[in-house]
């Protein structure tokens, strides 16, 4: 027997408005991705990463000017963990061969170009490797979505599976749209965070759907909207506690983990908020929009068998 919820919020009162808002946000994300795309990291585009250390505060403007006038043809220059540390992201150049880029020669050329700089690391990624990583990322995401669809469809019904997929795609588009609009670098850690968010959001959605399935079968006099509100209130405390604990861990990663995992932590933080929201106002509202009923979840009765008499 299900526990009586401690709260009685009418979540579904705002389902139409929330669906409109979610649609607008996703359209904005799609428009941004079509217009300017993602600020892909070197793992996807190929090129050379050089980490430098200076004795004093690095002059980023001077470094950018020197790179632009060199045969490197410019590049991305940013502080890395402090004002004395600098990270250079150099695009692939016809003047710098792969063999040279993979060796210490690039470091020597950088120290010649930037006197006083200490080379900490030099990494090279070829364009072909970047293309393969981008392709693998798309394939991994599609496989994950396909697995979610099959799992939810087998565990519930097609309508529930559609609601879960809609919510998952919604979460992915919001994160990608954020990275596109802010021009924050999208790297492999951000991709890993998106895959993690897909699992996190699905877990929250499945918990809600379990309650909905149970209540649709037992609350015979309630309509689907009432059942959905009742189920969401039943899982509300669990959802809040899970989100808060996860958020605390991600905040620790963001502030204490260093620059290398900022993209990862940022994508996770967005995913926590949007995943919680989508479990209620995208997955739940989507299932109601598809017209789920109690009959969808009832097993097929054999001829002569007694009908379900649970109340």
- Tens of pLDDT, residue by residue over 41-53, are 777 877 788 888 8
- pLDDT score, position 154: 85
Measured CA to CA, the distance from residue 159 to residue 152 in angstroms comes to 9
Measured CA to CA, the distance from residue 289 to residue 285 in angstroms comes to 6
Measured CA to CA, the distance from residue 187 to residue 275 in angstroms comes to 21
The radius of gyration of the chain's CA atoms, rounded to the nearest angstrom, is 25
Per domain, the residue ranges of the chain are 11-39+129-295, 47-125
- 107-116 tens-digit pLDDT: 778 888 888 8
Residue with tokens 């994508």: 267
Element (H, E) at 141: helix 127-155
Q: Which fold has domain 11-39+129-295?
A: Multidrug efflux transporter AcrB transmembrane fold (1.20.1640)
- pLDDT score, position 307: 46
- pLDDT score, position 27: 96
Whole-prediction pTM value? 0.79
Do the domains 47-125 and 11-39+129-295 match in fold? no
- pLDDT score, position 229: 93
What architecture is the 47-125 domain classified under in CATH?
Answer: 2-Layer Sandwich (3.30)
Q: In which residue ranges of the chain is pLDDT below 50? A: 1, 99, 101, 300-303, 305, 307-311
Give the long-range contacts of residues 56-59, CB within 8 A, separation 24 or more: 56/84, 57/83, 57/84, 58/83, 58/84, 58/85, 58/86
Measured CA to CA, the distance from residue 140 to residue 79 in angstroms comes to 32
Please name the residues in contact with 178: beta carbons below 8 A apart, sequence gap of 6 or more.
29, 184, 270
- pLDDT score, position 45: 77
């Amino acid at each position: 027997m299900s526990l009586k919820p401690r709260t009685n919020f009418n979540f579904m009162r705002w389902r139409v408005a929330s669906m409109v808002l979610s649609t607008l946000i996703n359209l904005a994300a799609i428009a941004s991705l079509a217009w300017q795309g993602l600020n892909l990291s070197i793992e996807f585009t190929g090129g050379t990463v050089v980490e430098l250390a200076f004795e004093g505060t690095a002059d980023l403007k001077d470094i950018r000017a020197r790179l632009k006038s060199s045969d490197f043809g410019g590049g991305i220059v940013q502080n890395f963990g402090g004002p004395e540390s600098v990270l250079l992201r150099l695009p692939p150049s016809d003047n710098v061969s792969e063999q040279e880029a993979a060796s210490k020669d690039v470091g020597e050329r950088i120290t010649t170009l930037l006197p006083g700089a200490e080379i900490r690391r030099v990494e090279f990624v070829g364009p072909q490797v970047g293309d393969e990583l981008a392709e693998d990322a798309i394939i991994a995401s599609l496989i994950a979505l396909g697995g979610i669809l099959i799992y939810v469809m087998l565990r519930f019904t097609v309508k529930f599976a559609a609601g879960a997929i809609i919510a998952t795609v919604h979460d992915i588009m919001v994160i990608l749209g954020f990275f596109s609009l802010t021009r924050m670098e999208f790297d492999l850690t951000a991709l890993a965070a998106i895959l993690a968010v897909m699992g996190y959001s699905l877990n929250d959605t499945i918990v809600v759907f379990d309650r909905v399935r149970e209540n649709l079968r037992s609350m015979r006099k309630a309509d689907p909207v009432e059942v959905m509100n009742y189920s969401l209130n039943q899982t509300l405390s669990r959802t809040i506690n899970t989100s808060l604990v996860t958020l605390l861990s991600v905040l620790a990663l963001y502030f204490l983990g260093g620059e290398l995992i900022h993209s990862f932590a940022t994508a996770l933080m967005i995913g926590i908020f949007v995943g919680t929201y989508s479990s209620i106002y995208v997955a739940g509202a989507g299932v109601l929009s598809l017209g789920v009923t109690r009959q969808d979840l009832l097993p097929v009765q054999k001829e002569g068998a007694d009908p379900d008499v649970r109340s």
